[in-house]
Amino acid sequence: MQNPYSNAMAQLSKAAKLIGLKKSDLGKMQKPQRILQANIPVKMDNGKIKKFKAFRVQHNNRRGPYKGGIRFHQNVSLNEIKALSFWMTIKTAVVGIPFGGGKGGVIVNPKKLSKTELENLSRGYIRAFYKYIGPRVDVPAPDVNTTSQIMDWMVDEYNKLTGKIQPAVITGKSLANGGSLGRNTATADGGFYVLSELIKKMRLKPKNLRVIIQGFGNAGANMADSLFHAGFKIIGVSDSITSIIDPAGKGFDSHIIEKIKKSHGRVDVCTCKKIKCSCVDHQHLPVQKILEQPCDILVLAALENQITKANYKKIKAKIILELANGPIAPAAEKELFKKGITILPDVLANAGGVTVSFFEWYQNIHHGKWSKNKVKTELKKTMIKSSDEIMSIAKKYNTDFRTAAFISALKKITR
Ligand code: NAD
C-alpha cells in the first residue's frame, strides 16, 4: 500500500518546481499546521467502554477556516488524514472558496456499530476536538461512511458544549438542521460539470462514450444518474462487493442499479446475487477487474490508491475522472499521462462537494436559504470557471491537469 501523504508531497513538488515556489512557502505546504489525536471512549451496547483512535488534522488556514470531512473507516491512518487535509487546502483554493484545508477520521468499521454506538462515537468525536473547531476556525463535513445524521449529532453536541446554536460549525447537515439543498448530489454534479466541459472542448458526444464507474456510494451513484440522463452509456459499475459489466455495450439504467443496491446492498442489475449468474445482459467480475475493462471514461469514486504501478498497464480508459480522493498513485499517473490518458484530478473533479459546503456555511452565517436551482447554478458557474482556468494553465505550462490545478492553488495560497 502506498503512503498517501508521500503521494501528495510528490504532486506538490512537481508543481512547486514548475513555478519556482519559494523554499519557505514549500515548507509551509509540506507540514500541517496542527495535528490533533484522541482516543475516544464510547459506551457500547453491552455496557463496556471501547476506545477508538481519532484524528483531526488542520493543514493550512492561509485563505480561511480549515475545511474538510470526517471519515469513519477501519483503514484510517494519520498519513491518510494528513494527505486528505493537504488536498483540501489545494481544493478550496482551486475553486476559489474562502477556506483552508483540514480533515478528520476515526479508525472504526461503522457497519459493526449499532445506531446508539454510532451516535456515541460521533458525539465523542466532538467532545474530543470541540475547542479546536468553530464556524470561523475549522468547519468539518461528511466523508466516507459519515452521513447528514452524523453531522446533526455532531452539531447538536457542539451546541451543547458551547452553549450557543451555531449550525455553521459543520456542513453536510440534514435539511431540517440547516443543511443546503443540493449538497447530496454536489460532488457528482461538480464532477459532471468538469467532465462536460472537457468533452465539449474535445468535441465528443455523450451518446458515443462508454463509462465505467468504480464505487457506488454518494459520489458514484449520483454521478451514474447524471451520466445516464445526459445520454452516456454506463457499461460497468462496482462497489466493494461486486462489479458488473455490460458485454454488449448498450449501457445500464442507473435507476435499476440504484434500486437493487438499496434493497440488496450490492450493485447488480438482477437480484440473483450470484457471482456467476446466468443473466445474459450482464456479467459479474472480481471487484478490481472493472478498472481494466475497455471504456472511454473511467470514474473512480471509491477509495485512494486504486491505480498503482501494479495495474496501470492494464488501464484502457481514455479519460479518468477522479471523484475519490487520491485514487491514482503518482508513479502510475506519470505512465498514464505518457499513454495519452487524460486525468481530471480529484482537487478539481470532486471539489463540487466542498463548494456546496461553502454555500451551506454561507447560508447558515447569513440565516438564508437558497433554492436548489440557485445552488446548482452557482455550482455550475464555479466549476466551469475553475475548469477553464486549470485547462488554460495546463496549456501554458504544457503539463497535466493535476499539476495545473496545484499551480493555480499554490499561486492563490502563497500570494
Ligand atoms: P460512500 O461511502 O458513500 O461510497 C463509497 C463507495 O465505494 C461504496 O459504494 C463502496 O462499496 C465502494 N467501494 C469501496 N471499496 C471499493 C472497491 N475496492 N471497489 C469498488 N467500490 C468500492 O463514499 P462517497 O461519499 O461516495 O465517497 C467516495 C470517494 O469520494 C471518497 O474517496 C471520498 O473521499 C470522495 N469524496 C466524496 C465527497 C462527497 O461529498 N461524498 C466529496 C469529495 C470527495
Could you list the mean pLDDT of each consecutive 10-residue stretch along the chain, which spans 415 residues? 82 95 97 98 98 98 98 96 96 98 98 98 98 98 94 98 98 97 96 98 97 95 97 96 89 90 82 64 88 97 92 97 92 92 97 97 98 98 98 96 97 94
DSSP state of 233: E
Phi, psi of 398 (to 5 degrees): 50, 55
pLDDT at residue 277, rounded to an integer: 65
pLDDT at residue 24, rounded to an integer: 96
| Bridge partner list, 142 | 70
Q: Burial, 79: exposed, middle or buried (Cβ in 10 Å; 0-12, 13-18, 19+)? A: middle
84: left (phi over 0), alpha (psi -120 to 50) or beta: alpha
Nearest ligand 1 atom to alpha carbon 238: 20
Q: Is 219 in the pocket of ligand 1 (CB under 6 A)?
A: yes
State the distance from the centre of ligand 1 to the C-alpha of 216, rounded, in angstroms.
7
pLDDT at residue 267, rounded to an integer: 86
pLDDT at residue 275, rounded to an integer: 59
Q: Is 302 in the pocket of ligand 1 (CB under 6 A)?
A: yes
pLDDT at residue 408, rounded to an integer: 98
pLDDT at residue 283, rounded to an integer: 85
pLDDT at residue 4, rounded to an integer: 83
pLDDT at residue 3, rounded to an integer: 82
Give the closest residue (by CA) to ligand 1 atom 31. 324
Q: Is 87 in the pocket of ligand 1 (CB under 6 A)?
A: no
Strand order across the beta sheet in which 319-322 lies: 283-285, 243-245, 233-238, 210-214, 297-300, 319-322, 342-344
Reference 212, options 106, 302, 79; nearest CA is: 302
Give the closest residue (by CA) to ligand 1 atom 4. 217
Give the closest residue (by CA) to ligand 1 atom 1. 217
Q: How far apart are CA 396 and CA 373, in angstroms?
A: 35
Q: How far apart are CA 241 and CA 268, in angstroms?
A: 10
Q: Is 353 in the pocket of ligand 1 (CB under 6 A)?
A: yes
Amino acid at residue number 213:
I
pLDDT at residue 279, rounded to an integer: 67
At 222, list the grid cell: 449520483
pLDDT at residue 413, rounded to an integer: 97
Amino acid at residue number 131:
K
State the distance from the centre of ligand 1 to the C-alpha of 17, rounded, in angstroms.
32
By three-state DSSP, how is residue 36 classified?
A: strand
Count the neighbouring beta carbons within 10 Å of the beta carbon of residue 142.
Answer: 25
pLDDT at residue 303, rounded to an integer: 86
pLDDT at residue 270, rounded to an integer: 72
Reference 245, options 269, 216, 273; nearest CA is: 269
Nearest ligand 1 atom to alpha carbon 183: 40
pLDDT at residue 274, rounded to an integer: 63
Nearest ligand 1 atom to alpha carbon 287: 19
pLDDT at residue 268, rounded to an integer: 75
pLDDT above 70 as % of the chain? 97
Q: Burial, 40: exposed, middle or buried (Cβ in 10 Å; 0-12, 13-18, 19+)? A: buried
Q: Give the predicted TM-score (pTM) of the model.
A: 0.94
Choose the residue to mutate in 108, 144, 298 for probing ligand 1, maximizing ligand atoms within 8 Å of C-beta.
144
Count the neighbouring beta carbons within 10 Å of the beta carbon of residue 414.
Answer: 17
Q: Which residues are annotated as catalytic?
A: 103
At 109, list the grid cell: 468499521
pLDDT at residue 262, rounded to an integer: 87
